[in-house]
Structure 1
Amino acid sequence: MISSHAKAGPGSVKLACRDLWKIYGASPPEAAEIASASSNDGNNSVTGKIAPGHVAAVAGATLDIHEAEIFVLMGLSGSGKSTLLRCLTRLIEPSYGSVTLDGEDLLAADRRRMTDIRRQAMGMVFQNFGLLPHLTVLDNVAFPLRVQGIDRAKREARAREMTELVGLKGREAQYPRELSGGQQQRVGIARSLAAEPEIWFLDEPFSALDPMIRRQMQDEFIRLQKMLRKTIVFVTHDVQEAFRLADRIAIMRDGAIEQIGTPVEIALSPANNYIAEFLRDVPLLKVIRAGDVMTPGQGGERPSRIFSSAATLEEILPDLLGGPQSIGIAGPDDTILGEISPSGITRLLRGERATTA
């Protein structure tokens, strides 16, 4: 069941899919017929199993991804999140439905056109890094530009720029085997950005890393997004990672999208008992941001204590308890956007886990 109360993203729709299916166990014409019949019957949100011998890895997915937002696909192993990402890029051919990028029908694109779109408009980062072991860091980062036929001087200049951007300046001549796991993933990120993609796809990019390095890479990812403002589709099974990074989240189960919303919408208003159970151990103080729950506007003098709208409640609470009656919440330009009071947080947490059947 898809939530109907998701907030609009930060920009116009960049990528969209409608009633998208991927069915295994049937030939393409049969799969399309099965998906069409299932959609018309309203059977696309239950178990993902269409008929004996046929399984829907993606079952009737419909979503809009907005310009410059981080859209996270989250779910347990086997939920269909990675398959959906690959259907959006046509690395896997969907069985039924539509996918559009800036209004262009990707499913109507021939192989040559789709190759051009992937090279010019899409950047991809996967869990296994995918670096070429015989190439240096610089040559790995420059490789997509080499494929595009860009001359050596220009591609190396761009590769050096991207290598510095991800914090690997001085390591351009090293080989992947000489780097740590986190450094290798930084090379993969730099390579995916070298061609200046319009939309960035990341499939479990940090899951193979140790917890401390993973946290560092999340910090790096947040830093890069503040600078680059890319449209991003990010796949993860880690709830805290999703809530830390996402502008909006789609939670999947058995190929179907159960709910779409901002982190605070999903945390405070799970669409059903499955979502509530899925989020049961999520510490709300760590994932809810000040800007999500502040009271807009401010009267009187400028508050003595001010926090960023991106600060979590956990960061704010020590200053709020036993301190001022309220604290100010500021935007990126230090303009006061609103305030938060202790009583407001108390009311918020008392109603935190409302669910629907």
Structure 2
Amino acid sequence: MTPPGLHVRNASLTFGQRALFSKLECEFPASSWTCLLGRSGSGKSSLLRMIAGLHLPDNHHLDLTTSDGEALRGRLAWMAQQDLLVPWERVLGNVMLGARWRGERSASAVARAREMLALVGLAERADAWPAALSGGQRQRVSLARTLFEDASVVLMDEPFSAVDAITRLELHELAYRLLAERTVIMVTHDPLEALRLAERILVLKGDPARLVPLAAPETPRPRALDDAEVQTRQTALVAELRETADAQ
């Protein structure tokens, strides 16, 4: 499935009397990986949910078009900060939750779920219960479930923030490899995570917030921690985020 680019226009969100952001406009090119950063409460996750069409209060608006003119519905997958594994299903069943909700219980669906578990290194844990998994393993199952949907657009809301630092680095490598060629938008609080993975970096700043683009390193992804350009740009990105917080 060829991934579309996304064009967001007139994105507005108000809580009470406060406009979190108003009339935002941005492009997410096809097959690109964009990271969205900003201070807590700036509206990053809300904007992502608006793009996904998930439930929000009535005081929001967004015009979304795709580069191919087709509806986004049916071409979108969501990966949340929490792994959202249900305890009454084994690992294989958790990977197949979307298929089960859609009434798809074919042998081919089961085979595909097992294939996704193999890709994330958990083929031997297909029959395990979620409670028996480590935090990193649970996030791998969540990634396998995202891959199982075979969506061309993937939205990720801090998907690796709940795991330890070493596991996070391993998941960066895995996610980059397995989500290649898709249009990915990821919310993160971690400047280094954005600099390792992103082709494009957007910072929500101001009151109401606006989207400020920052240059990402030009070296191949996923970038090494000791990449000189990563280190240089990390200093600039942290300074931008501090300026954002100090301005509030």
**Does TM-score exceed 0.5, indicating one fold?**
yes
Q: Which residue of 2 aligns with 1:250?
A: 202
1:228-247 residue pairs with structure 2 within 5 A? 228-247=180-199
Could you give the per-residue CA deviations for residues 10-53 of structure 1, whole angstroms, max 9, x where no partner exists? x996211112101122xxxxxxxxxxxxxxxxxxxxxxxxxxxx
The gaps in structure 2 that reach 5 residues or longer are 240-248
SS of the residue aligned with 2:125? Answer: coil
Inter-partner Cα distance in structure 1 for 2:221 and 2:146: 30
Which residue pairs with 1:46 in the alignment?
Answer: none
- Partner residue of 2:117? 163
> 1:101 maps to what in 2?
66
Mapping 1:12-91, distance limit 5 Å? 14-25=5-16, 54-91=17-54
Aligned in 2, Cα 1:310/1:182: closer, same or farther, shift over 3 Å?
A: closer
- Cα drift, residue 262 of structure 1: 3.3
Measure, in 2, the Cα distance between the counterparts of 1:211 and 1:179.
18
Secondary structure, aligned partner of 2:83:
coil
CA distance in 1, matches of 2:223, 2:149: 33
The 8 Å contact of residues 133 and 177 in structure 1, kept in 2 or not, is answered as: yes
Deviations 1:284-308 (A, max 9, x none): xxxx444xxxxxxxxxxxxxxxxx7
Residues 310 and 240 (structure 1 numbering): CA distance in 2 closer, same or farther, change over 3 Å?
closer
Structure 1 residue 72: Cα displacement: 0.8
Deviation digits for residues 127-170 of structure 1 (CA, Å, limit 9, x no counterpart): 11111111011111011112222233121111011111111111
Deviation at 1:240, TM superposition (A): 0.8
Q: Choose the corresponding residue for 1:214, options 168, 176, 185.
A: 168
Q: Once the two structures are superposed, what CA deviation does each residue of 1:214-238 show, in whole Å capped at 9, x if it has no partner?
A: 111112112223xx42110100011
Amino acid at match of 2:94: N
Shift of 1:73: 0.8
SS in 2 for 1:99: strand
Pairing of 1:286-301 with structure 2 (within 5 A): 288-290=217-219
How many matched pairs?
231
Q: Could you say what the CA RMSD is over the residues aligned between the two structures, in angstroms? A: 2.9
Who is 1:191 aligned against? 145
Following superposition, the deviation at residue 92 of structure 1 comes to 3.6
The separation in 2 between residues aligned to 1:235 and 1:151, in whole angstroms, is 33
Q: Quote the Cα distance in structure 1 between the aligned partners of 2:169 and 2:223.
A: 17
Q: Report which structure shows greater RCO (CA 8 Å, sep ≥6).
A: 2
Aligned counterpart in structure 2 of residue 204 of structure 1, from 158, 166, 187: 158
8 Å CA contact retained: 1:80, 1:255: no
On the 8 A contact 2:35/2:202 being kept in 1, the answer is: yes
TM-score normalized with structure 1 length: 0.58
Alpha-carbon distance change, 77 to 309 in structure 1, aligned in 2, over 3 angstroms: closer
Taking the aligned partners of 1:171 and 1:223, their CA distance within structure 2 comes to: 21
Letter in 2 for 1:201: L
Distance 2:136 2:225 in 1: 29
* Distance (Å, rounded) in 2 between the aligned partners of 1:217 and 1:310: 11
Residues 146/66 of structure 1: CA separation in 2 closer, same or farther (3 Å cut): same
